[in-house]
A and B are shown apart, each in its own frame.
Chain A
Amino acid sequence: MSEFNYDLIVIGAGPGGYVSAIRASQLGMNVAVIEKDNPGGVCLNWGCIPSKSLISQAQKFTYLKDLENMGIKTDASGFNYESVYKKSRLAAAKLSKGVEFLLKKNKIELIKGAAKISGNNTITVDGDKQYTANKILIATGSRPRIIPGFEFDEAGVLSSTGALNLKTLPKSVAIIGAGAIGVEFAYIFNSFGVKVHLVEMLDSILPLEDKDASDILAKAFKKNSVKIYTSVKASISEKMSSGYKVKLEADGEPEFIDVEKILVAVGRTPNSDNLGLENLGIKTDRGFIETGDFYETSVPGIYAIGDVINTPLLAHVASKEGEIAVEHMAGKGHEKRVDPTLIPGAVYTEPQIAGFGYTEMKAHEAGFPVKVFSFPFRGAGKAVAVEESDGFVKLVCHEETHEILGAHIVGKEATELIHEILLARKSELLPEDIAAMIHAHPTLSEAVMEAARGIEEWAIHV
Chain B
Amino acid sequence: MAEKLLMIALSPTMEQGTIHKWHVKEGESFSTGDILCDVETDKTTMEYEAPDDAVLLKILIKEGGQATVGQPIAVYGEMGDEISDILRELKEKEDTDPNAENAGAGERDGKNKTAVPEPKPESPESSSGTRITASPLARKIAGEKGIDLRRIKGSGPGGRIIKKDVEAFKPSAIPSISSNIPISGDDTKIPLSDKRTIIAKRLSESKYSAPHFYLTLKADMTRLIESRLRFNEDHPESKTSLNAWIMKLTAEALKRHPEINATWNSDSILKFFHVHIGLAVAQKDGLITPLVKAVEMKKISQIDEELKVLIDKAKNNRLTPDEYTGATFTISNLGSWGIEEFTAIINPPGSAILALGAIQKIPVVIHDQIVIRPMMAMTLSCDHRVIDGAAGADFMKTLKSYLEDPALAMI
Show the binding face of A for B, using Cβ within 8 Å: 400-403, 427-430, 432-433, 457-458
Contact A429 B136, beta carbon cutoff 8 Å: yes
Residues of B within 8 A of A429 (CB): 135-137
Stretch at the interface among B114-122, B138-146, B371-379: B138-146
- Give complex CA distance A401, B143 in Å: 11
- Measured in the bound complex, the distance between the Cα atoms of B409 and A276 in whole Å is 73
Please, could you name 25 A-B residue pairs with CB atoms under 8 Å apart, sorted by A? Answer: A400-B144, A401-B137, A401-B140, A401-B141, A401-B144, A402-B140, A403-B137, A403-B163, A428-B135, A428-B136, A428-B137, A428-B138, A428-B156, A428-B162, A428-B163, A429-B135, A429-B136, A429-B137, A430-B136, A432-B98, A432-B108, A432-B136, A433-B136, A457-B110, A458-B110
Residues in B with CB closer than 8 Å to A457 are 110-111
- Which residues of B have CB within 8 Å of A401? 137, 140-141, 144
> A401, A428, A429: which has the most chain B beta carbons within 10 Å?
A428
A449 CB, nearest partner CB in chain B, Å: 16
Q: Which 7 A-B pairs have the closest CB atoms?
A: A428-B135, A428-B137, A430-B136, A429-B136, A403-B137, A428-B162, A433-B136
B140 touches A430 (CB 8 A): yes
With the chains together, A221 CA to B140 CA distance in Å? 43
For the residues of B in contact with A, the DSSP-based class is helix
What's the Cα separation between A326 and B253 when bound, in Å? 52
Give Cα A444 to B135, complex, Å. 26
Expressed in whole angstroms, the minimum distance between the Cβ of A386 and any Cβ of chain B is 33
Distance, CA A428 to CA B144, complexed state (A): 16
**Contact with A427, one of B98, B135, B140, B141 (Cβ below 8 angstroms):** B135
Chain B, residues 143-157, CB within 8 Å of chain A (1/0): the string is: 010000000000010
**A10–B304 alpha-carbon span in the complex (Å):** 69
Within 8 A of A (CB), among B127-141: 135-138, 140-141
B85-99 vs A, Cβ < 8 Å mask (1 yes, 0 no): 000000000000010
A429 CA to B136 CA, complexed, in Å: 5
Cα–Cα, bound, A427→B139 (Å): 12
How far does the Cβ of B97 sit from chain A's closest Cβ, in whole Å? 12
Contacts of B98 in A (CB 8 A): 432
Please measure, in the bound complex, the distance between the C-alpha atom of A458 and the C-alpha atom of B110, giving whole angstroms. 10
A334 nearest CB neighbor, chain B only: B155
Smallest CB–CB gap between A422 and chain B, Å? 14
Give chain B nearest CB distance to A279 CB in angstroms.
39
**B155 — nearest CB in chain A belongs to which residue?**
A334
CB distance from A8 to the nearest CB of B (A): 26
| Closest residue of B by beta carbon distance from A428 | B135
Chain A nearest CB from B142 CB (Å) reads 11
Q: Which residues of B contact A458 (CB under 8 A)?
A: 110
* B141 cross-chain contacts in A, Cβ below 8 A: 401
Closest A residue to B111 using CB positions: A457
Instruction: Give Cα distance in the complex from A403 to B110, angstroms.
Output: 18
CB distance from A369 to the nearest CB of B (A): 14
Across-interface contacts of B136 in A (CB, < 8 A): 428-430, 432-433
Instruction: Quote the shortest CB–CB distance from A47 to chain B (angstroms).
Output: 31
Question: Quick one: closest B residue to A400, CB to CB?
Answer: B144
Q: Which chain B residues border A428 with CB–CB below 8 Å? A: 135-138, 156, 162-163
Q: Could you say which residues of chain A place their CB within 8 Å of the CB of B135?
A: 427-429
A-chain residues with CB within 8 Å of residue B163 when the two chains form the complex: 403, 428
